[in-house]
Amino acid sequence: MTLITPFPLRILRRPDVERRTGLSRSTIYMYMDEGTFPKPIQLGGKRVSVGWLEHEIDAWIQEQIDMSRGKTARA
């Protein structure tokens, strides 16, 4: 299956997501449970590995910026 996107796909591992967002591991998973943070994708392999799509994390960060500056209303 070939996926064509307007941006290069990059997968971030949890420590990278923590650094990018400033959130702790427990807060990331709490927000995911609430449905307010992007869900990770399964990466496969012998051990269960997950990663987040960089563009989804970037969009989440932009949403936080917009909300903090009164540009959007939180649903």
One DSSP character per residue, 7-40 reads S---EE-HHHHHHHH---HHHHHHHHHHT-SPPP
Mean pLDDT of 23-32: 98
Answer for the pair 17, 57: CB distance below 8 angstroms, yes or no.
Answer: yes
Examine residue 48 and state whether it is found in any structural domain, yes or no: yes
Q: How many structural domains does the chain have? A: 1
Examine residue 73 and state whether it is found in any structural domain, yes or no: no
- Domain interval for residue 45: 11-68
Examine residue 74 and state whether it is found in any structural domain, yes or no: no
Examine residue 45 and state whether it is found in any structural domain, yes or no: yes
At residue 67 the predicted structure's pLDDT band, cuts being 50, 70 and 90, is very high
Residue 62 reports pLDDT greater than 80: yes
Examine residue 33 and state whether it is found in any structural domain, yes or no: yes
Examine residue 75 and state whether it is found in any structural domain, yes or no: no
Examine residue 23 and state whether it is found in any structural domain, yes or no: yes
pLDDT at 8: 81
